């Protein structure tokens, strides 16, 4: 449980922990659900705004609790109107953490970060260059959603409709905090978003995928594949030396069998490397014969990653060729490139340099 100057930060508590905490103050259990609504639906940061609480409860809460509500340090809006990047500052770190809001028809999707940096070292990813700094806490993950909803509400009365764990870091390597944040995102008094509106992306942390299956969370699963054989994947995604392609395909099949949800294989198109003629045949052999999707992502430039980018036409052609081989291939529209907010471009900045 996180505390600030010996005060309990309410956004670090699960609903059960908050209920126990409220009971320990001598209050009724239902107050916990009321407080959850104030924290996540009305997004207040002052106990005095909790108008359905008695003065006594408000005083008790402000004496021993805090509510952290970080303001974004910067907000960058794409000139194309389909993406907004946020930089959030948190206590206990000088790093600013990035998240992105993506607009697509009626969807408003928050792409949130789960770690500062990442330990997995994928070759095409800007975040990887930071190395692993630390896991984000439950409340730091949730604060990104609160900040994004604040932004949306400052423009209209709309809220985030979908959440994807595809920002900085590997969410499934921070399973405990990811899981706690997920509970709040799905709770009817929290963000109230069902599993169909949530997707977690993973480089392939198989034990955590097993946990997702066993907990029956019914969230969408996207596995970053990005290569058509183990030799190449070892180079592009070093985690492959631990969990290889055959193991990923096997767990994807199990995920579908147990949850009824088709797994998406994300596939960064690195020109001349991941879209060769051999790639098409191998992908067809690996992924045909069971329900799954392959989502092609054109390589985005990031930092010193400037080579092997690919034209949209070439990615489209690659997807059509995969289609002919029987694969459900789609092309991800890259949003937010002009604000360095597209796939593989997020990073963290030291706040003292921004």
Dist CA 73 CA 40 (whole Å)? 21
Partners of 350 in the β-ladder: 95
The verdict on 172 binding ligand SF4 (CB under 6 A) reads no
DSSP string, 285-328: HHHTTSSEEEEEEEPPPBTTB-TT---HHHHHHHHHHHHHTT--
Strands in 3-4's sheet, in edge-to-edge order, are 3-4, 7-9, 65-66
Q: Does 220 bind ligand SF4 (CB under 6 A)?
A: no
CA angle 104, 110, 114 (to 5 degrees): 145
d(CA 295, CA 283): 12
CB of 346 vs ligand SF4, minimal distance in Å: 8
Site string for ligand SF4, 127-166 (x = CB under 6 A): xx--------------------------------------
For residue 214, the minimal CB distance to ligand SF4 (Å) is: 22
Closest CA to 101 of 342, 350, 347: 342
Stretch that binds ligand SF4, among 92-100, 120-128, 279-287, 322-330 (CB under 6 A): 120-128
Q: How far is the CB of 322 from ligand SF4 (least distance, A)?
A: 22
Token pair belonging to 261: 């949800």
Residue 125 touching ligand SF4 (CB under 6 A): yes
Q: What is the DSSP letter of 70?
A: P
The 3-state DSSP class for residue 203 equals coil
Count of residues that bind ligand SF4 according to CB under 6 A: 11
Residue with tokens 């699963």: 221
- Give the one residue of 70, 169, 220, 298 binding ligand SF4; rule: CB under 6 A: 169
10 binds ligand SF4 (CB under 6 A): no
Q: Is 120 in the site for ligand SF4 (CB under 6 A)?
A: yes
Contact 185, 163 (CB under 8 A): yes
- Residue 127 vs 138, nearer CB to ligand SF4: 127
125 catalytic, yes or no?
Answer: no
Tell the smallest beta-carbon distance from residue 51 to ligand SF4 (Å). Answer: 41
* Catalytic residue selected from 2, 19, 98, 266: 98
Residue in the block written with tokens 């700094």: 133
Residue 340 binds ligand SF4, judged by CB under 6 A: no
Q: Specify the residue, 10 or 130, whose C-beta has the smaller distance to ligand SF4.
A: 130
Query: Quick one: 117 or 147, whose CB is closer to ligand SF4?
Result: 117
Residue with Cβ nearer ligand SF4 (22 or 269): 269
Query: Given the complex with ligand SF4, which of 117 and 190 has the nearer CB atom?
Result: 117
Q: Per rule CB under 6 A, is residue 222 in the interface with ligand SF4?
A: no
The answer to whether 343 is a known catalytic residue is yes
* 203 sits near ligand SF4 (criterion: CB under 6 A): yes
Least Å distance between CB 124 and ligand SF4? 7
Tell me how far CA of residue 308 lies from CA of 269, 311, 338, 345, in angstroms. 9, 10, 19, 15
Only segment of 67-75, 113-121, 303-311, 313-321 that touches ligand SF4 (CB under 6 A): 113-121
CB of residue 130 to ligand SF4, shortest distance in Å: 9
Q: Are 256 and 215 in contact (CB under 8 A)?
A: no
Report yes or no: 292 and 256 within 8 Å, Cβ to Cβ.
yes
Contact yes or no for 120/201 (Cβ under 8 A) = no
- Nearer CB in complex with ligand SF4: 125/193: 125
Determine, following the binding rule CB under 6 A, whether residue 298 of this chain makes contact with ligand SF4: no
What b/e string do you get for 179-197 counting C-beta neighbours within 10 Å, with b at 16 or more? bbbbebbbbebbbebebeb
Token digits for 281?
């045949």
Q: Which is nearer to ligand SF4, 224 or 319 (CB)?
A: 224
What residues make contact with ligand SF4 under the rule CB under 6 A?
A: 118, 120-122, 125, 127-128, 168-170, 203
Q: Which residues are catalytic?
A: 98, 343
């Amino acid at each position: 449980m996180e505390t600030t100057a010996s005060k309990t930060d309410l956004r670090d508590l699960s609903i059960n922990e908050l209920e126990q905490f409220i009971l320990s103050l001598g209050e009724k259990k239902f107050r916990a659900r009321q407080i959850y609504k104030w924290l996540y639906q009305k997004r207040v940061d002052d106990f005095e705004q909790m108008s359905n609480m008695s003065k006594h409860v408000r005083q008790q809460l402000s004496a021993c609790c805090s509510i952290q509500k970080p303001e974004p340090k910067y907000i960058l809006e794409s000139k194309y109107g389909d993406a907004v990047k946020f930089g959030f500052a948190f206590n206990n770190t000088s790093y600013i953490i990035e998240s992105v809001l993506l607009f697509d028809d009626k969807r408003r999707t928050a792409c949130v970060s789960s770690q500062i940096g990442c330990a997995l070292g994928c070759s095409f990813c800007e975040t990887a260059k930071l190395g692993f700094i630390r896991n984000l806490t439950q409340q730091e993950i949730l604060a990104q959603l609160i900040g994004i909803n604040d932004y949306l509400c400052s423009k209209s009365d709309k809220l985030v409709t979908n959440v994807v764990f595809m920002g900085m870091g590997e969410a499934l390597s921070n399973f405990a905090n990811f899981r706690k944040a997920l509970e709040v995102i799905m709770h009817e008094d929290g963000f109230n978003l069902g599993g169909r509106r949530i997707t977690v992306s993973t480089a392939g942390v198989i034990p955590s995928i097993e946990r997702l299956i066993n907990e029956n969370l019914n969230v969408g699963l996207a596995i970053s594949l990005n290569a058509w054989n183990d030799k190449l994947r070892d180079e592009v995604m070093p985690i492959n030396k631990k969990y290889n392609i055959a193991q990923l395909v096997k767990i994807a099949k199990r995920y579908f069998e147990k949850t009824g949800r088709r797994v998406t294989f994300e596939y960064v198109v690195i020109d001349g490397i991941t879209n060769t003629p051999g790639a098409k045949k191998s992908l067809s052999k690996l992924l045909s014969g069971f329900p799954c999707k392959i989502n092609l992502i054109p390589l985005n430039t990031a930092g010193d990653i400037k080579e092997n980018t690919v034209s949209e036409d070439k990615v489209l052609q690659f997807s059509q060729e995969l289609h002919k081989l029987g694969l459900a291939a789609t092309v991800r529209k890259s949003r937010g490139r002009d604000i360095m907010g597209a796939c593989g471009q997020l990073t963290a900045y030291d706040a003292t340099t921004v």
